[in-house]
């Protein structure tokens, strides 16, 4: 605990260290309570010390910012691009994508007609809130939604072969009355990197086929 907190503290922004009124500002205890209209907060234990951090997503110009305030008042934040306006999907989600007890933060980066696009951040002591990337270092996004002709979703599960704990599903209906074609991809989550572990391509399967099922709620911390 101590090392993580001290490292986090060393990264605190000048504003957090200098603002004398900061420590006297009561933190909103529950989402939506006493929070400005352009921000939303939740609590999550992102450093794994058993105590909650205050996680906030707020609008800042064309970007959004996800931040964490620790019990010692140290503060870290990271900006990310977002194509969704106003308070829509502002709320951060707390998830455990690696199913290892470390809580990640899932934020919305875009909203389409039927599909929401997400990014994940994980806390790395000494670095702050780091966006989860693929093995090539590119920001990783995943999706939930779909309509009559398509489906995208994700799920978490206990580690399987290759220590995969995170699965995405993409499917499209090839024609009216037809089944779904698509791919189900399994990933391991290693700190701030998501590593493909295998994929299952499927053709013309019914909507209730197991290979199509994915429940984002399964990514909530245990
Ligand atoms: Ca904590």
pLDDT by residue (tens digit) across 191-200? 999 999 999 9
Confidence of residue 86 (pLDDT cuts 50, 70, 90): low
Quote the mean pLDDT of the chain. Answer: 85
Distance 46 CA to ligand 1 centre (A): 5
Q: What is the pLDDT of residues 34-70, one digit of tens each?
A: 444 689 999 999 999 999 999 999 999 889 999 999 9
Q: Give the global pTM.
A: 0.81
- Is residue 27 predicted with pLDDT exceeding 70? no
Distance 136 CA to ligand 1 centre (A): 29
- Is residue 163 predicted with pLDDT exceeding 90? yes
Whether 67 and 77 have beta carbons less than 8 Å apart is answered as yes
d(CA 160, CA 17): 44
d(CA 128, CA 109): 19
146: left (phi over 0), alpha (psi -120 to 50) or beta: left
Locate the domains of the chain by residue range: 2-18+39-219
- Is residue 156 predicted with pLDDT exceeding 90? yes
Give the start-end residues of each E strand in 82-213. 93-95, 104-111, 115-124, 128-131, 141-146, 150-156, 166-173, 180-190, 193-205
d(CA 50, CA 46): 9
What pLDDT is recorded for position 112?
A: 87
Token code pair at residue 68: 């964490």
Confidence of residue 18 (pLDDT cuts 50, 70, 90): very low
Q: Identify the H or E element spanning 16.
A: helix 14-18
Task: Provide, rounded to the nearest whole percent, the portion of the chain with pLDDT above 70.
Answer: 82
What pLDDT is recorded for position 90?
A: 85
- Is residue 122 predicted with pLDDT exceeding 70? yes
Distance 206 CA to ligand 1 centre (A): 43
Distance 29 CA to ligand 1 centre (A): 15
Distance 48 CA to ligand 1 centre (A): 5
- Is residue 6 predicted with pLDDT exceeding 80? no
Distance 183 CA to ligand 1 centre (A): 36
Distance 138 CA to ligand 1 centre (A): 27
* 11 secondary structure, DSSP code: T
Distance 125 CA to ligand 1 centre (A): 12
């Amino acid at each position: 605990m101590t090392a993580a907190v001290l490292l986090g503290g060393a990264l605190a922004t000048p504003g957090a260290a200098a603002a004398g009124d900061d420590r006297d500002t009561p933190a909103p205890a529950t989402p939506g309570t006493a929070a400005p209209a352009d921000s939303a907060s939740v609590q999550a234990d992102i450093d794994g010390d058993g105590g909650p951090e205050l996680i906030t997503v707020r609008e800042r110009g064309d970007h959004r910012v996800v931040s964490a305030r620790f019990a010692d008042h140290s503060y870290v934040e990271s900006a990310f691009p977002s194509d969704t306006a106003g308070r829509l999907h502002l709320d951060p989600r707390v998830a455990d994508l690696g199913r290892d007890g470390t809580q990640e933060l899932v934020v919305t980066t875009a909203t389409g007609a039927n599909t929401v696009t997400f990014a994940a951040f994980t806390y790395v002591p000494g670095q702050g809130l780091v966006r989860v990337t693929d093995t090539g270092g590119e920001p990783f996004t995943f999706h939930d939604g779909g309509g009559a002709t398509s489906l995208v979703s994700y799920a978490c599960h206990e580690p399987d072969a290759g220590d995969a704990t995170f699965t995405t599903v993409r499917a499209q209906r090839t024609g009216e009355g037809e089944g779904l074609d698509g791919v189900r991809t399994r990933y391991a989550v290693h700190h701030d990197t998501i590593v493909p572990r295998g994929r299952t391509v499927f053709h013309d399967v019914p909507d209730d086929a197991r290979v199509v099922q994915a429940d984002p709620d399964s990514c909530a911390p245990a």
